[in-house]
Protein backbone atom coordinates (compact mmCIF):
# COMPACT_ATOMS: atom_id res chain seq x y z
CA UNK A 1 0.00 0.00 0.00
CA UNK A 2 1.23 3.47 -0.86
CA UNK A 3 0.82 6.26 1.70
CA UNK A 4 0.32 9.54 -0.15
CA UNK A 5 0.37 11.92 2.82
CA UNK A 6 3.10 10.97 5.27
CA UNK A 7 2.55 12.33 8.74
CA UNK A 8 5.23 14.60 10.13
CA UNK A 9 5.43 13.88 13.82
CA UNK A 10 8.50 15.90 14.72
CA UNK A 11 9.26 19.58 14.64
CA UNK A 12 11.25 20.82 11.67
CA UNK A 13 14.21 23.01 12.60
CA UNK A 14 15.56 25.60 10.16
CA UNK A 15 18.94 27.19 10.75
CA UNK A 16 19.44 30.48 8.90
CA UNK A 17 22.04 30.14 6.14
CA UNK A 18 23.07 33.78 6.15
CA UNK A 19 23.18 35.70 9.40
CA UNK A 20 23.08 39.34 8.29
CA UNK A 21 23.16 40.69 11.86
CA UNK A 22 26.82 39.84 12.33
CA UNK A 23 28.34 37.81 15.12
CA UNK A 24 25.97 36.89 17.86
CA UNK A 25 24.06 34.04 19.39
CA UNK A 26 22.97 31.19 17.15
CA UNK A 27 19.32 31.60 16.16
CA UNK A 28 17.04 28.73 15.29
CA UNK A 29 13.59 28.95 13.74
CA UNK A 30 11.24 26.11 14.62
CA UNK A 31 8.28 25.23 12.45
CA UNK A 32 5.80 22.59 13.56
CA UNK A 33 3.85 21.15 10.66
CA UNK A 34 0.13 20.65 11.12
CA UNK A 35 -1.27 17.56 9.44
CA UNK A 36 -2.30 18.17 5.84
CA UNK A 37 -4.73 15.27 5.75
CA UNK A 38 -7.89 15.57 7.80
CA UNK A 39 -8.34 11.83 7.24
CA UNK A 40 -6.78 9.00 5.30
CA UNK A 41 -9.05 6.76 3.24
CA UNK A 42 -8.21 3.41 1.70
CA UNK A 43 -9.33 2.11 -1.67
CA UNK A 44 -9.34 -1.66 -2.11
CA UNK A 45 -10.69 -2.64 -5.49
CA UNK A 46 -11.05 -6.21 -6.76
CA UNK A 47 -8.75 -7.38 -9.55
CA UNK A 48 -9.74 -6.30 -13.07
CA UNK A 49 -11.90 -3.42 -11.83
CA UNK A 50 -11.35 0.33 -11.72
CA UNK A 51 -12.36 3.07 -9.32
CA UNK A 52 -12.59 6.66 -10.57
CA UNK A 53 -12.05 9.72 -8.38
CA UNK A 54 -15.76 10.50 -8.67
CA UNK A 55 -16.79 7.02 -7.49
CA UNK A 56 -14.34 7.15 -4.57
CA UNK A 57 -15.49 10.65 -3.56
CA UNK A 58 -19.18 9.73 -3.63
CA UNK A 59 -18.53 6.56 -1.63
CA UNK A 60 -16.59 8.51 1.04
CA UNK A 61 -18.59 11.79 0.98
CA UNK A 62 -15.65 14.00 0.07
CA UNK A 63 -15.35 16.81 -2.52
CA UNK A 64 -13.64 15.82 -5.77
CA UNK A 65 -11.43 18.91 -6.14
CA UNK A 66 -9.93 18.46 -2.66
CA UNK A 67 -9.25 14.76 -3.26
CA UNK A 68 -7.51 15.49 -6.58
CA UNK A 69 -5.45 18.37 -5.16
CA UNK A 70 -4.39 16.66 -1.92
CA UNK A 71 -3.20 13.58 -3.81
CA UNK A 72 -1.60 15.37 -6.79
CA UNK A 73 -3.79 13.45 -9.24
CA UNK A 74 -3.71 14.03 -12.99
CA UNK A 75 -5.78 11.12 -14.23
CA UNK A 76 -8.83 10.09 -12.25
CA UNK A 77 -10.12 7.24 -14.38
CA UNK A 78 -8.52 4.63 -12.08
CA UNK A 79 -7.02 5.64 -8.75
CA UNK A 80 -5.84 2.11 -7.95
CA UNK A 81 -5.43 0.55 -4.53
CA UNK A 82 -3.89 2.58 -1.77
CA UNK A 83 -4.36 4.97 1.09
CA UNK A 84 -5.21 8.53 0.12
CA UNK A 85 -5.21 11.93 1.77
CA UNK A 86 -8.72 13.38 2.09
CA UNK A 87 -10.60 16.27 3.68
CA UNK A 88 -13.27 15.57 6.26
CA UNK A 89 -16.42 13.99 4.91
CA UNK A 90 -19.38 16.29 4.35
CA UNK A 91 -22.89 16.44 2.93
CA UNK A 92 -22.40 16.25 -0.85
CA UNK A 93 -24.03 17.42 -4.02
CA UNK A 94 -23.00 16.21 -7.46
CA UNK A 95 -22.80 18.76 -10.25
CA UNK A 96 -25.01 17.70 -13.17
CA UNK A 97 -23.98 20.50 -15.58
CA UNK A 98 -21.02 22.85 -15.94
CA UNK A 99 -21.60 25.61 -13.37
CA UNK A 100 -19.80 28.47 -11.76
CA UNK A 101 -20.24 28.85 -7.98
CA UNK A 102 -22.45 31.92 -8.36
CA UNK A 103 -24.68 30.06 -10.85
CA UNK A 104 -24.84 27.08 -8.49
CA UNK A 105 -26.08 29.38 -5.72
CA UNK A 106 -29.00 30.60 -7.82
CA UNK A 107 -30.49 27.17 -8.36
CA UNK A 108 -32.93 27.24 -5.44
CA UNK A 109 -34.59 24.03 -6.52
CA UNK A 110 -31.18 22.35 -6.21
CA UNK A 111 -29.57 23.90 -3.10
CA UNK A 112 -31.72 26.45 -1.28
CA UNK A 113 -30.14 28.80 1.23
CA UNK A 114 -26.43 28.33 0.40
CA UNK A 115 -24.53 31.56 -0.13
CA UNK A 116 -21.47 31.84 -2.35
CA UNK A 117 -19.37 32.58 0.77
CA UNK A 118 -20.59 29.40 2.47
CA UNK A 119 -19.97 27.41 -0.68
CA UNK A 120 -16.43 28.76 -0.99
CA UNK A 121 -15.68 28.05 2.68
CA UNK A 122 -16.90 24.45 2.34
CA UNK A 123 -15.03 23.90 -0.96
CA UNK A 124 -11.65 25.68 -0.78
CA UNK A 125 -10.09 23.48 -3.49
CA UNK A 126 -12.89 23.91 -6.06
CA UNK A 127 -12.48 25.97 -9.22
CA UNK A 128 -15.30 28.46 -8.64
CA UNK A 129 -15.47 29.59 -12.26
CA UNK A 130 -16.14 26.11 -13.62
CA UNK A 131 -17.56 23.31 -11.53
CA UNK A 132 -17.09 20.15 -13.57
CA UNK A 133 -19.76 17.70 -14.60
CA UNK A 134 -20.17 15.00 -11.91
CA UNK A 135 -17.82 16.86 -9.55
CA UNK A 136 -18.80 16.37 -5.93
CA UNK A 137 -18.96 19.46 -3.70
CA UNK A 138 -19.73 20.04 -0.03
CA UNK A 139 -23.08 21.69 0.68
CA UNK A 140 -23.05 21.56 4.46
Which tens digits make up the pLDDT trace of 34-68? 446 899 999 998 888 999 999 999 999 999 999 99
Q: Average pLDDT, stretch 2-17?
A: 49
* 7 in a structural domain: no
* 15 in a structural domain: no
* 12 in a structural domain: no
Q: Which domain holds residue 82?
A: 38-138
Q: Average pLDDT, stretch 109-137?
A: 80
Three-state SS at 105: helix
User: Which of the 8 DSSP states describes residue 129?
Assistant: S
* 129 in a structural domain: yes
Q: Average pLDDT, stretch 80-95?
A: 91
* 68 in a structural domain: yes
> Can you tell me the distance from the alpha carbon of 136 to that of 10, in angstroms, rounded to the nearest whole number?
34
* 33 in a structural domain: no
State how many domains the chain has: 1
Burial 67-95 (b: 16+ CB within 10 A, else e): bbebbeeeebeebeebbbbbbeebebbeb
Predicted pLDDT at 113: 74
* 123 in a structural domain: yes
* 53 in a structural domain: yes
Amino acid sequence: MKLNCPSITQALVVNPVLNVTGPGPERTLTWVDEPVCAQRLTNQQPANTTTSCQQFCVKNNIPTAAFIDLNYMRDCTDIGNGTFCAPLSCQLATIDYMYGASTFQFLPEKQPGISVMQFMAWNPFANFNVLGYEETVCIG
